[in-house]
Amino acid sequence: TEIYTLSLHDALPIWVSGVGNRIVANKLSFYEEGISGDGQGNLYLGNECSGGIVAIVISGQGDLIEGNTCGGSRTWGFDITGTAETIVGNQADGNGKVGISVAGTHNQIRNNEATNNTMFDLEDGNGVCGENSWKLNAFTTANLPCIN
């Protein structure tokens, strides 16, 4: 297991691949993609992303994405396309398109807060929420009625 803890301004993005990595307490601003990952069983905990194009992009499997804050990106705060991800206790405010977007399946999305995002605060790309579970999230706008 590798542990990355960085504090960066005008940062190059953090790219994560592999299994069981911990990406913890990083602060990034003004990036193309703040944190990107495609591994399995990785932990993304307590990171802060602001500015930039896309804050956090995850396409892995079985990752934990918890306690991250993403605001002010030009597009998505969180863009999650993986499967069996747990997205909990994150905050996405004031992003240019969507606060938290989930397109994968079998994901657990709960106890997140998303407000003041331009298109939607929460978005499920499966059309009918597929096999994703949306529970106890605080938001104003969503693209589907199955999101709560």
What confidence score (pLDDT) does residue 8 get? 47
Task: Check: CB of residue 12 under 8 Å from CB of residue 30.
Answer: no
* pLDDT, averaged across the chain: 90
What confidence score (pLDDT) does residue 28 get? 86
Long-range contacts of 97-104, Cβ-Cβ distance < 8 Å, separation of 24 or more? 98/122, 98/123, 99/70, 99/139, 100/137, 101/76, 101/125, 102/132, 103/79, 104/59, 104/80, 104/132
Span between the terminal Cα atoms of the chain, in Å = 34
The single-letter DSSP state of residue 11 is P
- Portion of the chain with pLDDT greater than 90, in percent: 74
On the question of pLDDT at 11 being above 70, the answer is: no
Angle at 119 between CA 55 and CA 127, to 5 degrees: 95
What is the reported pTM? 0.91
The single-letter DSSP state of residue 7 is B
Instruction: Find the mean pLDDT for residues 32-49.
Output: 92
pLDDT, tens only, 72-99: 999 999 999 999 999 999 999 999 999 9
What confidence score (pLDDT) does residue 12 get? 54
